[in-house]
Amino acid sequence: MSLLCIDNGVFEVRATNGHPHLGGEDFDNRLMEYCMAEFKKKSYGIDIKGNNRAMRRLRTQCEKAKRTLSTSQQTVIECEALAEGEDLHIKVTRPKFDELCMDLYKKTLEPMEACLKDAGCLRMEVDEIVIVGGSTRIPRV
């Protein structure tokens, strides 16, 4: 992130900061971990961690679910015959997704606070916020 001062068309970068290892994939992974645990629980202990094909299919569905939850209150993650002939069918609500990702949301605040501090600026002095990138569509972000 960058904190800019814009005056008469002149852009001055006051500070920059960010978390280099935090992005959309982290949210996908969190949802995948939840789905794998639920699948294991519902399918008599089948663990898909070593099954590359099942993991790819689940990742695709989790990415899709994350995008859906940006505009809807719930979605269903489905993978027919995910592993050993067992189907995956999990309803995920936005509050459940938020619960799973709460620590990741909190990590997004740390660089913002540091950026404000580096710029010598208070929150109330910021007039506008422009958010870009895929994960910024997540309502909680």
pLDDT tens per residue across span 23-77: 788 899 999 999 999 999 998 899 999 999 999 999 999 999 999 998 999 999 9
- Name the residue among 51, 125, 123, 129 with its Cα closest to residue 88: 51
Residue 95 pLDDT > 90, yes or no?
A: yes
Q: What is the CATH number of domain 2-137?
A: 3.90.640.10
By CB atoms closer than 10 A (0-12, 13-18, 19+), residue 37 is: exposed
pTM score of the predicted model: 0.77
Instruction: Map residue 21 onto helix, strand or coil.
Output: coil
- Give dist(CA 108, CA 36) in Å, integer: 25
Please name every residue paired with 15 in a beta bridge, in sequence order, or none if there are none.
3
Residue 103, token pair as written in the block: 């620590």
- Give dist(CA 95, CA 110) in Å, integer: 22
pLDDT tens per residue across span 97-131: 999 999 988 888 888 888 899 999 888 888 887 76
